[in-house]
Amino acid sequence: MSENLTQQLLDWYRANGRDLPWRIKGGAHPDAYAVWISEIMLQQTTVATVMDYFDRWMQKFPTIEALANADLQDVLMAWQGMGYYTRARKIHECAQVLMQKYGGHIPKTRDELLKLPGIGPYSASSICCFAYNIPETVVDGNVMRVIARLYGITKEITASDIYPLAQKLTSPEHGADYASAIMDLGATVCTPTKPKCMLCPWKKDCLSQKHGNQEQIPQIKKIAKKQMDGQVYLIRNKKGEYLIRKRTEKGLLNGLWEFPWCEGKKLPGKHPSVTHIFTHIKLTLQIIHKQENPDKFDGIWVDPQHFKDYPFSTLMQKIIKKNILKNEASEYAAKPYMFDKVSKKLFCGVGEFDYDPKNNPS
């Protein structure tokens, strides 16, 4: 292998790297707050999606102080649609800790960063790199793919298998540029399918390019997801309002609004269902329509027009889009301000939706 792999990659990045609002070529980004927010958003979410959310977020909460003083419900609303809401709640909590204990500044060492809510080893390393140009080694999915291909590793791997190799390549002087460079190479050149090896700065050294097995690498060890079943109840009163409740218990989806649901065995008979994949769980809920509230669930009654005022999880948004808004499209069609017959879009509740009459049972 060439001894200049790091320099070759840095040269490639300076000429070809992406311009992203939370990064600066040639060193650290001047706003560590922007780096922190982008890093948390980018976990489980694509760059294209984050671009939109990031701009809106920075306008709404331009500083750590503004975020710390914001209402949690507003923070969750700003996050709505990106899923994994624990991230948003932890960001809010972390902003409050930063104001109380760190004078509104983000610490500059990995050890201090790791004491903060919602900042794990990967985010701590990334913040050190991008906000302070410290040469921490970052290993995400892109980095795993690029390095596994570079070294032709065909066996199943985890991030810790790749870490020592990634560490050897990390530039001691250019932590920020190096981390950006390897991520960009993975995102734009060494892509999961059809990598553009001819454009790659490492093409001469890359073993998988030599063996032609790029698309078989990497083999990532998968964590099995646990299947969970249950029922969600869409309970409607005579005014057409639905019963929703706020989650208060700690953990998954805390602070978000939802239709009453519970875990349980599948019910017999035909029921529509919705499936959602969480980090370690695959949840399938049968959808049960009910009138009034025979099961006496706690909650409040809300007209679908006002759903936009309540942060719902991605799972609940799926249910709203498929089982409430489309079923009610004919009702809303009678109200021209709600249904645009030309665009066939329904303007309601959590946003704007395509209306397909074939899917409308009424």
Which positions from 213 through 252 interact with ligand SF4, judged by CB under 6 A? 214
- Binders of ligand SF4 among residues 335 to 354 (CB under 6 A) are none
Interaction with ligand SF4 in 118-157: which residues (CB under 6 A)?
146, 149-150
Q: Closest CB to ligand SF4 among 32 and 144?
A: 144
248 and 242 in contact (C-beta within 8 Å)?
no
* Residue whose CB is less far from ligand SF4, 140 or 229: 140
Task: Report DSSP state, residue 309.
Answer: G
Residue 68 binds to ligand SF4 (criterion: CB under 6 A): no
Structure tokens given for 201: 């700065």
Options 38, 126, 133, 208; binder of ligand SF4; rule CB under 6 A:
208
For residues 354 and 346, give the distance between their C-alpha atoms in angstroms, rounded to a whole number: 6
Q: Residue 321 burial (CB < 10 Å; 0-12/13-18/19+)?
A: middle
Cα separations (Å) of 71 from 60, 93, 96? 12, 11, 11
Catalytic residue among 39, 136, 258, 328: 39
Nearer to ligand SF4 among residue 203 and residue 290 (C-beta): 203
- Candidates 115, 106, 111, 142; CA nearest to 125 is 111
Identity of the residue, 149 or 326, whose beta carbon is nearer to ligand SF4 in the bound complex: 149
Residue with tokens 């921490």: 136
Q: Nearest approach, Cβ of 10 to ligand SF4 (angstroms)?
A: 15
Taking the complex as a whole, how short is the minimal distance between the CB of residue 121 and ligand SF4, in angstroms?
25
Strand pairing class (219-220; 156-157): parallel
Instruction: Pick from 203, 245, 247, 290 the residue near ligand SF4 by CB under 6 A.
Output: 203
Which residues, 166 to 195, sit near ligand SF4 by CB under 6 A?
A: 189-190, 195
Token couple for 171 = 């530039």
Report helix, strand or coil for 347. strand
> Which residues bind to ligand SF4, rule: CB under 6 A?
146, 149-150, 189-190, 195, 197, 200, 202-203, 206, 208-209, 214
Catalytic residues: 39
